[in-house]
Amino acid sequence: MRIAALICTIIAPQQSEARPISFPGGVTPMLRHNWEMNRLHLHYTPHRLHSLGVAVEEIRARDQTNLFFQWNRLLLRRNRERSQLNIYSMLESGVTRVKDEVEPALGLTFAGDWETRRYLAAYSVGFEHAAEFDNGSFHQTARLGFAPYLGNYGSLHSWLMIQLEHHPEEEESTRVGPVLRFFKSEYLIELGVDNQKDLNFNLVVRY
Amino acid sequence: MKKILYLLVILVSLPVAAESAKVKVTGMVCDFCARGVEKSFKGRDDIEKINVSLEDSLVEIQLKEKSILSDEEIRKVITDNGLSVISIERVSGKSSEKSPAKAKSQ
């Protein structure tokens, strides 16, 4: 049951670092390293309301690999002169391999964000289920961010954020820590550390 | 008569001012949003230049000479990028007009 909980926890999309849908025709590779995994995720946006992606995850400290296909949908967007509000759904389907056993797995995450040029708030909650493991699982991630200066288009943009993660099945069920975000041109980089002194690193490129 | 001919020659040789449009948008709060708009317009054959201002929530489109880009086409590109249009102001060598559009959410 413990293994089931762990598996369920790691297959969540956990898409808090960048919006899961780009502009039509846009391709977005994303690379993540954090306390539990290395993840490579690539998505393509055929329409402003949808994106399709594929993700490969390596779960360190366990002999485990995941492969998922992902369908993201923009459920709601509210544009204001100085702000944008989004709600997304992210459906993942694929396989997880643990110690030479391969099982199908399914995940569904809802994510929302509200952003101005100065402030940012984001929240996501994910529900997952892997075959053979019927207890299911969920996790939550929240972020609050602040831009210390307002850069115009094309300049270097910087954000100071605080990230809170809640993984009820983990020994360290709550993790909190600062994250620095920098982006310029097509590139977004995030660097952070949590209260367990584990490193967070995200790289996103929007082509 | 000579003066009139000179004047005509000068007028004909003057470059024709290409039309431009200033599009006021909502929801453009980050570089990634603006980059999508820029890429979408730059991919078109009728666009000479595009300037985006996050500060003013403004997209300035410079059309190529003799090119035509309707308000509907501009709105479509903007909304396809997830933003909303407040107004489109046309600017040309001879005249300028404003065509306000109601901002709407998607």
Residue A177's domain is classified under what CATH number?
2.40.160.40
CB-nearest partner of B82 from A48, A150, A157? A48
Query: Rounded to 10 degrees, what is the CA torsion of B23, B24, B27, B29?
Result: 90
Looking at the 3D structure of chain B, how many domains does it have? Answer: 1
Cβ pair A202, A178 in contact under 8 A: no
ipTM: 0.76
What are the chain B neighbours of A44 within 8 Å (beta carbons)? none
Does B104 reside within a domain?
no
The answer to whether residues B84 and B26 touch, using CB atoms and an 8 Å cutoff, is: yes
B81 CA to centre of own chain: 16
* Nearest residue in A to B57, CA atom: A81
Q: Which residues, in sequence order, are CB contacts of A81 under 8 Å at separation 6+?
A: B26, B57, B86, B103
Burial of A158 (0-12, 13-18, 19+ CB in 10 A): middle
- Which residues of chain A are within 8 Å of residue B27 when distances are taken between CB atoms? 77, 79-80, 83-84
Neighboring chain B residues of A188 at a CB cutoff of 8 Å: 32
Q: What total of structural domains would you count in chain A?
A: 1
In this complex, the residue of B25, B26, B36 whose CB is nearest that of residue A23 is B36
Nearest CA in chain B to A78: B105
CA pair distance A146, A157, nearest whole angstrom: 11
Whether B98 maps to a domain, the answer reads: no
The domain containing residue A171 runs over which residues?
A: 2-205
Per-residue pLDDT of chain A (207 residues; tens, 9 = 90+): 444 443 444 344 454 456 788 888 889 999 999 988 899 999 999 998 999 999 998 978 667 788 999 999 999 999 998 899 999 999 999 998 887 888 888 899 999 999 999 999 999 999 877 766 545 667 899 999 999 999 889 899 999 999 999 988 778 889 999 999 999 988 999 999 999 999 999 999 988
Longest Cα–Cα distance in chain B: 61
A83 to chain B nearest CA, in Å? 5
Residues of chain A contacting residue B82, judged by C-beta atoms under 8 Å apart = 21, 23, 48, 74, 77, 79, 84
Residues of A with CB under 8 A from a CB of B: 18-19, 21-26, 48, 74, 77-84, 115-117, 150-154, 157, 183-186, 188, 206
Q: Give the tokens for residue B83.
A: 């933003």
What CATH number is attached to the domain comprising B51?
A: 3.30.70.100
- Report how far residue A48's alpha carbon sits from residue A62's, in angstroms, rounded to the nearest whole number: 37
